[in-house]
Chains A and B, each alone.
Chain A
Amino acid sequence: MKNKLRELRVAKEWSQSDLAGKLNVSRQTVNAIEIEKYDPSLPLAFKVARLFKSKIEDIFELDPD
């Protein structure tokens, strides 16, 4: 799954640790989501969307294949 988490985080001038703290996850988890090695669960995706005041589908996009 593709995502815009890094762009959104950088736009807010947050570090990965800052974002991890806001989402109550580890910095490694934020990194794994950003490099698209891990797809977050639905509750975490909702948390991310709520934090950035966006819709889930504006941040996460399903791979066409």
Chain B
Amino acid sequence: MLYTDLLMNNQPPIPDELIMFDKQFSWRTAWKVGRWWFAAMMISYLCDLQFGEVVKQWPLGGRVMIVLTEFSTILLFVLDAKRWIHSMDELQRRLTLAIFLFAVSATFIFFMLWLGLNRAGFFNAVFGPPPDGTWGISSVAHACLLFGGFYGLGFLIFKRCYK
């Protein structure tokens, strides 16, 4: 499967193609790799954040279905990303795996730190009570957004090693 416009020049994909402000950015590749990531984020944004109170009134089966849909889309994203990384050359694969590992670890650590600080009452003490009742972040939308941000940061850090 073609994953990149660059492949038309017989060249394998590069991680730059997912970075929106990079000159190598490719909408086509970004869509092929990130469509399920985007879908998971949108489902979670709508069901967990925007209409969270409405969804809480739904029957248990409906709510479980939403959670399973979110995680299924994440799984599909992982499969697409795996296929994309597999079609890279050795250096770009090494670089992208490092960026993904960084993004996943940073997202996990950020979540753990945030939950710990929230449990300790840090945010309430510093910023006061939140308007929507909790400082907690626990939705897939938050995780997707953080992962995307950390992918960009990881790209900036690791790309410099080879420039």
Of A17, A21, A24, A38, the residue contacting B91 (CB under 8 A) is A38
Pair A26/B14 contact, Cβ less than 8 Å = yes
A residues whose Cβ falls under 8 Å from a Cβ of B: 17, 20-21, 24-29, 32, 37-38, 40-41, 44
B residues whose Cβ falls under 8 Å from a Cβ of A: 6, 9-14, 16, 88-92, 161-163
Q: How far is the CB of A43 from chain B (nearest CB, A)?
A: 8
A40 to B12, CA, bound (A): 16
A26-B6, A28-B162, A32-B162 are contacts. A41–B11 as well, Cβ < 8 Å?
no
Pair A26/B162 contact, Cβ less than 8 Å = no
Pair A26/B161 contact, Cβ less than 8 Å = no
Pair B92/A28 contact, Cβ less than 8 Å = yes
Residues of A within 8 Å of B16, CB to CB, are 28
Q: How far is the CB of A37 from chain B (nearest CB, A)?
A: 5
Nearest to A23 among chain B residues (CB) is: B89
Q: How far is the CB of B14 from chain A (nearest CB, A)?
A: 5
Of B12, B13, B161, the residue contacting A24 (CB under 8 A) is B12
Which 7 pairs, one residue from A and one from B, show the smallest C-beta to C-beta distance? A25-B89, A29-B91, A32-B162, A21-B10, A37-B162, A26-B14, A26-B11
Nearest to B163 among chain A residues (CB) is: A37
A24 to B89, CA, bound (A): 8
Residues of B within 8 Å of A37, CB to CB, are 161-163
Output the residue of B11, B14, B88, B162 with the most chain A CB within 10 A: B11
Pair A26/B91 contact, Cβ less than 8 Å = yes
Q: How far is the CB of A55 from chain B (nearest CB, A)?
A: 21
Pair B11/A21 contact, Cβ less than 8 Å = yes
Interface CB pairs A-B, < 8 A, 30: A17-B11, A20-B11, A21-B9, A21-B10, A21-B11, A24-B12, A25-B89, A25-B90, A26-B6, A26-B13, A26-B88, A26-B89, A26-B91, A26-B92, A28-B14, A28-B16, A28-B91, A28-B92, A29-B89, A29-B90, A29-B91, A32-B162, A32-B163, A37-B161, A37-B163, A38-B91, A40-B90, A40-B91, A41-B90, A44-B90
Of B9, B88, B90, B162, the residue contacting A17 (CB under 8 A) is B9
